[in-house]
Amino acid sequence: MQIQSKLIDKAVKELARLPGLGRKSALRNILYLLRQNPTQTIELSSALVDLVENIKRCKVCHVHTEDEICGICANPQRDQKLICVVEDIRDVLAIENTGQFRGVYHVLGGLISPMEGIGPGQLTLAALEQRINSGEIDEILLALSATAEGDTTNFYIYRKLKDLPIKVTTIARGISVGDDLEYADEITLARSILHRVEYKGS
Amino acid sequence: MQIQSKLIDKAVKELARLPGLGRKSALRNILYLLRQNPTQTIELSSALVDLVENIKRCKVCHVHTEDEICGICANPQRDQKLICVVEDIRDVLAIENTGQFRGVYHVLGGLISPMEGIGPGQLTLAALEQRINSGEIDEILLALSATAEGDTTNFYIYRKLKDLPIKVTTIARGISVGDDLEYADEITLARSILHRVEYKGS
């Protein structure tokens, strides 16, 4: 697909670098923008520039924010003694949406992955340790993906903390609400039996 | 999904206005950009601004271009007496990719669609008429979509031109190359029989 216009070609090329957008859908989006009022494109561009120029990491939990300290860390209503360790901001959003967590977060910025060459040094693990050593932390809740990388990272953090007087918990693994038992994989089913909880009739 | 950061929220909102991108994939793309070198986002933004600020329509064929007259119209090798009428720049790209067309184009910018409230006045039909009246045109090739809107627009142009000494053609409708006859719809099959061509053994 050879585009005659250098400007369209350049915009398509740049937009197609986003994950999940190929050249065809990038061109479709560019033509869509050309049909709209130019202010829409200007707004999009300035929002993107504003983003990369002004977004920082929260000094406490390392979540993306434009403030020195994010809204959750700065909120006195949140339990600062309970830290939930997550991979990135999407997990923070997902957990916040449940409305069930009143503690604070620590964003690792990834998971330990020898396959992808990501070691503990590239994550915010040192900052987490420092946070634990300097503050009065009661509990660390590990809320990482149920993958090999998530398990490796869980184990790494657990090993670092096991001698400290801190409770280390992980989110429960088990059968998803609404799932048929017969379609659950064996490992999940096995874990849900191992970690069975007392039935309280509610 | 409530995003704590106003900057991320704004960027997601703007990006999610593109067709085919929901809020979830927009957020995924924004987080991807935040993980990359900021120059990538700056490049994307400036390509978009450059686009809407500098892209024009070719004065002859109305295709998107940054020049007064597009590369195809300005090319002396192209047959200026054969005009292919298309809906938008994507059709120009598709036809150019075949390498089978040596004439020039006329981009309508849409199709007549009473359902969507698009009348002949919103398209570049007046410019097409002017172009035909002022130049020495031998043939108009209608290459519009095989839809009700395409047919309506074909008929509208045909009626305008039928008293002029100009050949009006349309691209052939028939069975796609590689298609099984039994799976072709009846209208396409009927048309392919009506418009049968002499078999020359090649």
A94-131 pLDDT, tens digit per residue, is: 888 888 899 999 999 999 999 989 999 999 999 999 99
What value does the mean pLDDT take over residues B150-175? 89
CATH entry, B75-171, from 3.40.80.10, 3.40.1360.10, 3.40.50.720, 3.30.365.10: 3.40.1360.10
Q: Complex ipTM, two decimals?
A: 0.77
Work out the minimum CA distance from B96 to partner chain A, whole angstroms.
8
Work out the minimum CA distance from A93 to partner chain B, whole angstroms.
7
Two domains, one topology: A6-54 and A76-171:
no
Work out the minimum CA distance from A129 to partner chain B, whole angstroms.
23
The answer to whether A8 faces chain B, any CB pair under 8 Å, is yes
Instruction: Write down the pLDDT at residue B2.
Output: 61
Classify domain A76-171 by CATH architecture.
3-Layer(aba) Sandwich (3.40)
Residue pairs between chains A and B whose CB atoms are closer than 8 Å:
171
DSSP codes of every residue in chain B = ---S-HHHHHHHHHHTTSTT--HHHHHHHHHHHHHS-HHHHHHHHHHHHHHHHH-EE-TTT--EESSSS-TTTT-TTSEEEEEEEESSHHHHHHHHHHT---EEEEE-SS--BGGGTB-GGGTTHHHHHHHHHHS---EEEE---SSHHHHHHHHHHHHHHTTSS-EEEE---SPPTT--GGGS-HHHHHHHHHT-------
B29-70 pLDDT, tens digit per residue, is: 998 998 889 999 999 999 999 999 999 999 999 999 999 999
A residues 18-57 closer than 8 Å to B (CB): 18-21, 25, 27-34, 38, 40-55
CATH of domain B6-54: 1.10.8.420
Q: Which residues of B touch A52 (CB under 8 A)?
A: 33-34, 38, 41-42
Q: Minimum mean pLDDT among A133-142, A176-185, B105-114, B134-143: which range? A: A176-185
Q: Which residues of B touch A4 (CB under 8 A)?
A: 63, 65, 70-72, 92, 96
Which residue in B24, B51, B57, B124 has the most chain A C-beta atoms within 10 A of its own C-beta, making it the best mutation to test that interface? Answer: B51
- Domain boundaries of chain A, sorted by first residue: 6-54, 76-171
Q: Minimum mean pLDDT among A153-167, B54-68, B173-187: which range? A: B173-187
